Amino acid sequence: MSTLLDKIIAEKKIEVRDLKQQGLSTEERSDDLVISDFKKAISNHGQINLIAEIKYASPSQGIIRQFLDPIAIGYIYYSVGAVAISLLTDQKFFSGDLKNMAALKRNFPLPVLRKDFIIDEIQVRESYINGADAILLIASILSKQQLQDLLGITRSLGMAAIIEVHNEDEMQKAIDCKADIIGINNRNLDTFKVDLQTTHKLATLAPEDCTLISESGIDKDADIYALKKTRVNAMLVGSAIMKSNNIAKKVIELIDAGKH
């Protein structure tokens, strides 16, 4: 029986095929889309830094929030102190849109992460052209060779890459590829169930010089206080923010918990 992840990857292969047939409109990045230092932004010491995500839907939760102008959301994130913005760009399963990335870059001086299921070099170049400062590379859907190749291309273009892991084998794969930013996903991508203990278990395995991000399932102060027992540098939060009746208040709450 195919999992939801299998279905997503099958769709990505179709998207990649179509993108290759169409070709990229350009290989160049507009001069006003200056690359920001994503790793530096999320590595402020003495706190757990917030990467705030723009996420309208997910396969596990359905509609998270009815469409709200991403620029309006970006303004809130920037004005109350998020260190970076994560933009989900998958359309079919997450109701995202890559076209919003350049607009976010042009309006706010925050690094922007493209969060998607990247399986091919052309998606990396597409991310670069559209203004991404960083991309997500998911260890579970890529071989070690693919991961090394895509990481090398990403770095050659001046972008950063989060290598996302969920278990010990994937953590070792990231380490073998000399990842300098590792995202520990508390959500199992096969079952979509969340366990915050995943971060606590895997953080101890990461190299000391690696920047660590905890992803998925972070919802309240207590979750963040627990993360402080690890050496996590940043947290990536989407659903808890986008579901909130008061986005600004929720972001401030998360940031304050990360500081105290």
Query: Could you tell me the domains of the chain?
Result: 4-22+36-259 (3.20.20.70)
Q: Calculate what percentage of the chain has a pLDDT beyond 70.
A: 99
Active site (catalytic) residues:
53, 55, 115, 164, 185, 215-216
Identity (one letter) of the amino acid at 96? Answer: G
Mean pLDDT, the chain, integer: 93
pLDDT of residue 240: 92
The stretch 18-46 carries a mean pLDDT of: 92
pLDDT in tens, 45-91: 889 999 999 998 877 776 777 777 999 999 999 999 999 999 999 99
pLDDT level of residue 4 (50, 70, 90 thresholds): confident
How far apart are the C-alpha atoms of 53 and 1, rounded to whole Å? Answer: 31
pLDDT level of residue 1 (50, 70, 90 thresholds): very low
Look at 254 and 4; give whichever has higher pLDDT: 254
String of DSSP letters for 77-129: HHHHT-SEEEEE--STTT---TTHHHHHHHH-SS-EEEES---SHHHHHHHHH
pLDDT in tens, 168-220: 999 999 999 999 999 999 988 777 788 889 999 999 999 999 999 999 989 99
Structure tokens at 209: 């010089």
- Tokens 């915050």 sit on residue: 196
pLDDT of residue 2: 65
pLDDT of residue 62: 66
Q: Calculate what percentage of the chain has a pLDDT beyond 90.
A: 79
The answer, yes or no, to whether residue 255 has pLDDT greater than 50, is: yes
Identity (one letter) of the amino acid at 172? Answer: Q
pLDDT of residue 137: 98
The stretch 13-27 carries a mean pLDDT of: 93
pLDDT in tens, 212-244: 999 998 999 899 999 988 999 999 998 899 999
Please state the length of the chain.
260
pLDDT of residue 146: 97
pLDDT of residue 257: 93
